[in-house]
Amino acid sequence: MTKRLQVLFEDDELREVQRIARRQHLTTAEWVRQALRSAGRAQDAPGVADKLAAVRRAAGHAYPTADIDAMLGEIEHGYLTLDE
């Protein structure tokens, strides 16, 4: 089902949107729909800078580590003692 969305523009803003839409051979409505979809996708996906910042923050923490065989042994021991 489609719904109507009313967006109010100043005259000069609307003329600019219409001009851009015409240049791309789109109706104003279709150009606005595409622009909103594109803006939504950009909001959802973090950029490279955000990802690098997250990695740098994580690298600054001192997480506990262990030998992989020791960790797997502890995990298995924990599973085996659940029923006790």
Predicted local confidence at residue 47, as pLDDT: 84
Predicted local confidence at residue 16, as pLDDT: 97
Tokens read off for 20:
């851009």
Q: Specify the amino acid at residue 25.
A: H
- Non-local CB neighbours of 34 within 8 Å, separated by 6+ positions: 26
Distance CA 69, CA 49 (A): 35
- Non-local CB neighbours of 54 within 8 Å, separated by 6+ positions: 46
pLDDT tens sequence for the chain (84 residues): 999 999 999 999 999 999 999 999 999 999 999 999 999 988 877 889 989 999 999 999 888 788 899 999 999 999 988 876
Distance CA 31, CA 34 (A): 5
Predicted local confidence at residue 46, as pLDDT: 81
Predicted local confidence at residue 82, as pLDDT: 80
